Chains A and B, each alone.
Chain A
Amino acid sequence: KAGVTQTPRYLIKTRGQQVTLSCSPISGHRSVSWYQQTPGQGLQFLFEYFSETQRNKGNFPGRFSGRQFSNSRSEMNVSTLELGDSALYLCASSSLGAGELFFGEGSRLTVL
């Protein structure tokens, strides 16, 4: 079956702009979680959605938001971009329970 698909794979923005990233989970998976990965901070949890509801949120400012649609696809948005938002943004999907997470290849954001 198809894996987790993230789009776009690469993008460049300037400070002050906003960006929307998309994640299509594996068919049948209803949980989608998002992570930010930077060389200095490693992998950091952003938020997790299940059946269109945000169940958990990490310690990120309100500029970072997300949502999940009825088909389980998810988007995350970052507004008023800062240089420090340059990172690899990863999403992962899973079925209910403690089973494995399936990660996408990520969206690499560069803020100039």
Chain B
Amino acid sequence: DAKTTQPNSMESNEEEPVHLPCNHSTISGTDYIHWYRQLPSQGPEYVIHGLTSNVNNRMASLAIAEDRKSSTLILHRATLRDAAVYYCILRDPRDDKIIFGKGTRLHILP
């Protein structure tokens, strides 16, 4: 079973921020939270990852709850090219058996 739970789909308007939630209530202390996205006919693409603190990069921001049982991927200004399936996964560097959930299909409306 997937260790993370995400909404099946979300919709957002172009040029608006998007907040993609992920629940991971069984996270262990050594699990890193990773986000990937998959565009049609492509392999998944890394977006961002973090352990405890919030993280920012050129693609997105990752907000991690204080108890680490949930996180939110933030796309600050969505574009049509951000339409994809977004996966939140847990990755333990000691045990690289990664379980993907169904992900969230993000639709961007022009």
- Known A-B contacts A97-B93, A98-B49; the reply to A33 vs B98 at CB < 8 A is yes
Answer yes or no: B99 CB below 8 A from chain A CBs: yes
Of the candidate stretches B11-19, B37-45, B62-70, the one touching chain A is B37-45
- Known A-B contacts A97-B93, A98-B32, A100-B34; the reply to A45 vs B98 at CB < 8 A is yes
Number of residues in A with C-beta < 8 Å to the partner?
27
Chain A min CB distance to B48 (Å): 9
Give Cα A42–Cα B91 distance, bound, in whole angstroms: 18
Chain B min CB distance to A58 (Å): 7
Contact residues of A between 84 and 98, Cβ < 8 Å to B:
90, 92, 94, 96-98
Q: Is the interface of B mostly helix, strand, loop or mixed?
A: loop
> Which residue in A33, A94, A106 is a CB contact (below 8 Å) of B43?
A106
Contact residues of A between 78 and 112, Cβ < 8 Å to B:
90, 92, 94, 96-106
- Known A-B contacts A42-B103, A43-B87; the reply to A102 vs B46 at CB < 8 A is yes
B87-110 toward A: CB 8 Å interface, digit per residue (1/0)?
100011101111111110000000
